[in-house]
């Protein structure tokens, strides 16, 4: 049996707790949809989905360097952050609370939109 829940994720680099406890080796599926916009400098408005801005790789200032700017990212407890995008099916190597965020720079505060993330936790 599995638990399925849908959560809204705001478009900023602040980690948002999903209030779900993940166990080590537990299968988790995260699928997301919606549109959000990162703060783009210079002032250009770009809208994208959970995969972020294709071809625009994040540098070391972002939560997940090397992943697309504005993509949906996750971490479990204090684990390293990982890219999720619009669909991510994995067995967790970590245990702890699930956190989601936009792959953005923490100092940027001019984002818009939101995503709905459906999270499925499978029994172990």
Provide the residue ranges of all domains of the chain, joining segments of one domain with +. 2-122
Position with higher pLDDT, 38 vs 32:
32
| Residue 41, pLDDT score | 66
User: Which residues does 88 contact at the CB level (< 8 Å), separation at least 6?
Assistant: 28, 29, 30, 31, 74, 82
CATH class of 2-122: mainly beta
CB 32 within 8 A of CB 118: yes
pLDDT category, 43, cuts 50, 70, 90? low
């Amino acid at each position: 049996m599995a638990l399925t829940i849908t959560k809204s994720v705001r478009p900023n680099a602040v980690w948002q707790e999903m209030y779900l406890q993940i166990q080590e080796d537990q299968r988790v599926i995260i699928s997301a949809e919606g549109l959000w916009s990162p703060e783009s400098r210079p002032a250009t408005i770009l809208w994208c989905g959970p995969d972020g801005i294709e071809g625009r790789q994040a540098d070391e200032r972002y939560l997940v360097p090397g992943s697309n700017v504005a993509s949906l990212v996750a971490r479990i407890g204090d684990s390293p952050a990982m890219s999720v995008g619009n669909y991510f099916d994995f067995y967790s190597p970590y245990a702890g609370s699930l956190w989601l965020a936009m792959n953005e720079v923490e100092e940027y505060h001019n984002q818009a939109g939101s995503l709905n993330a459906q999270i499925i936790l499978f029994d172990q």
